[in-house]
Amino acid sequence: MPPVVRFAVRRLGRAVLTLWFASTVTFLLLRLLPGNPALAVESPNMTVQARNILLHQYGLDQPLLTQYGKYLWQLLHGNLGVSFTQQVPVSSVLLARLPWTLLLTGSSLLLTIAVGIPLGVLAATRPHRVLDRLVQVFGVGVQSLFVPTVGIFLLFVFGLQLHWLPIGGAYTPGVYGGAWYVSVLSHLVLPCVSLMLVQLGSYALTLRATLIESLGEDYTVLANAKGLPRSKVVWKHALRNALLPTTTLVGLNLGYLVGGAVLTETVFAYPGVGRGIYEAVTQLDYPVLQGAFVLLAATVVLVNMLTDLAYGVLDPRVRTA
């Protein structure tokens, strides 16, 4: 087998394994931990029989292995099942929320990189000076912010006090055409900024640390000695290497980010997947939860593949190998 094919096969195998693992863990957690979806239907008039009928309708009275077999079989056919509470296919529940999650996390990631890289470079090129210390404290500080507190603060200042930005939602209902895009953008600003703030620290600080290392490497010393302009040495040679761990960070963080934006989505009333998961948890809507975790795992797989690609571009050793 040529190495490229072997590599592709191994990657694909890993992707399938990841999806299987995520779906199985979710399946087992839902069934082995206490919790009964029939009880989650809060109705003062439901008798024990009525609740048992419901369990039967949900298929939860079957043996665990039968349920698992059915679930995997459906999954293989791309069928995520039907929501317990909404009576519609899980895929449509998730697809309605996915675009907003992608928009929010994608834009916040871009913003983080756009702000984080210059900050990291700023700090690394002046190690242990005042500016470096400021960047460090700032980076660590914003990373330690509690999202809801920041969120309400931003809404209070930029919404209520300054009237610059709207409060809550992904857009204003009843707006169409070009105005709709403006509305989407104006609703995106605050949640995007608060997600950026909490991510910024890890990017800027990782970059700072690796850049300090690579500025001490032989090739940068050599480049300096050759009389290349300092800015070129930093931005072109050293940074290129230092970006590798940052790229890994994107891979590690994005999966976390997609589901982990629950608090941001809650405070800013943003209709993303994270909030959808939280609501499915309160209703114990098993099919939606199973589907959501498969979706998140698929996102992670996808992002990791993209990170691999980025590695190839960034690291000459990987490219020639």
Partner 1 sequence: MSVGALDSVTTEAPTAARATWSAFRRNPLGMISLVVLALIVLVAIFAPLVVSEPQGYGGAVLRAPSGSHIFGTDNLGRDIFAEVVWGTRISVLVAAASSALAIVIGVLVAVLGAYFPKADTVIGTIVDLCLSLPVLPLMILVTALAGTSLLTEILIIAFFSWPEVARVVRSQALSAVRLPYMDAARLTGGSSTWIIRKHLLPAVAPVVIVSVALTSSRAVLTAASLAFLGLGGVTNWSWGRILFESEQSGAMSSAWWTTLFPSLAMLVLVVSATLISITYNDARNPRSRED
Partner 2 sequence: MRARFPIAVVAAVAAAATVAACSPAPPKSGAGGSTGDATLTIATTTDVVNFNPLIGNSRTDDWITDLMYPRLLTIDADGNKKPYLAKDFGYSNPTTGYFDIRDDMKWSDGQPVTASDVAYTINAILKDKPAGNTTYGQMSNVVNATAPSTTKVEIHLSRADSTVVSEVGFWMNVVPQHVFEPNGSVAKFPNNSNWVSAGPYKLVSAVKGQSYTLERVSPYPFAPNNTPTLQKVVYRVYPDINSEILALKNGDVDLIGNSLPPAQVKSLQSTAGIKVQEAPGLGYEHMAYNMNHQPLNKLQVRQALAHGVDYNAIRSVVLQGQAVTTGSSPIPPVLKDWVDPSLKEYNYDPNQSKQLLAQAGVSNLKLNLIYSLADPVSSQAATIIKDDEAKAGITINLQGQERNTYLANTASGNYDIYLGNFAIMDDPTTNMSLTYLPGGAINYGLVNDPALSGLIKQAQATTDKAAQKQLITQAATSVHDNVYDNVMYMQNLYFAYSNKWTGFTVKPSELLSLLDPQSLANVKKTG
- Least spacing, CB of residue 268 vs partner 2, in Å: 7
The end-to-end CA distance of the chain, in Å, is 16
- Tell me which of partner 2, partner 1, none is bound by residue 168, counting a contact when its beta carbon lies within the kind-specific cut-off of 5 to 8 angstroms: partner 2
- Tell me which of partner 1, partner 2, none is bound by residue 11, counting a contact when its beta carbon lies within the kind-specific cut-off of 5 to 8 angstroms: none
Q: With respect to partner 1, which residue has the nearer C-beta, 61 or 279?
A: 279
Residue 151 as a binder of partner 2 (CB under 8 A): the answer is: yes
- Tell me which of partner 1, partner 2, none is bound by residue 243, counting a contact when its beta carbon lies within the kind-specific cut-off of 5 to 8 angstroms: partner 2
- Out of 98, 150, 192, 300, which residue is the one contacting partner 2 (CB under 8 A)? 98
Residue 170 as a binder of partner 2 (CB under 8 A): the answer is: yes
- Tell me which of partner 2, partner 1, none is bound by residue 66, counting a contact when its beta carbon lies within the kind-specific cut-off of 5 to 8 angstroms: none
Secondary structure of residue 230 in the 3-state scheme? helix
Residues 211-240 that bind partner 2 (CB under 8 A): 239-240
Q: In 77-89, which residue ranges form alpha helices assigned H by DSSP?
A: none
Q: b or e along 71-88 (b: 16 or more beta carbons within 10 Å of the residue's beta carbon)?
A: beeebeeeebbbbbbeee
User: Contact positions toward partner 1, by CB under 8 A?
Assistant: 14, 17-18, 21-22, 25-26, 29-30, 33-35, 127-128, 133, 136-137, 140-141, 143-149, 152-153, 155-156, 160, 205, 209, 212-213, 216, 252, 255-256, 258-260, 262-263, 266, 274, 277-278, 281-282, 289, 292-293, 296-297, 300-301, 304
Secondary structure of residue 89 in the 3-state scheme? strand
Site string for partner 2, 108-147 (x = CB under 8 A): -xx--x---x------------------------------
The torsion defined by the Cα of 239, 197, 102 and 247, in degrees rounded to 10, comes to 20
Q: With respect to partner 1, which residue has the nearer C-beta, 175 or 309?
A: 309
Residues 271-300 that bind partner 2 (CB under 8 A): 271-272, 275-276, 279, 282-284
Cα(133)–Cα(127) distance, integer angstroms: 8
- Tell me which of partner 2, partner 1, none is bound by residue 176, counting a contact when its beta carbon lies within the kind-specific cut-off of 5 to 8 angstroms: partner 2
Residue with tokens 């609501």: 279
- Considering only CA atoms, which of 46, 33, 41 is closest in space to residue 285? 41
Rounded CA Rg of the chain: 24
Burial class for 162, CB neighbours closer than 10 Å (0-12, 13-18, 19+): exposed
**Hey, how many other C-beta atoms are within 10 angstroms of the C-beta on 193?**
18
- Tell me which of partner 2, partner 1, none is bound by residue 33, counting a contact when its beta carbon lies within the kind-specific cut-off of 5 to 8 angstroms: partner 1
Residue 163 as a binder of partner 2 (CB under 8 A): the answer is: yes
Tell me how far CA of residue 196 lies from CA of 157, 163, 207, 261, 266, in angstroms: 18, 22, 16, 11, 16
Residue 15 as a binder of partner 2 (CB under 8 A): the answer is: no
Residue 150 as a binder of partner 2 (CB under 8 A): the answer is: no
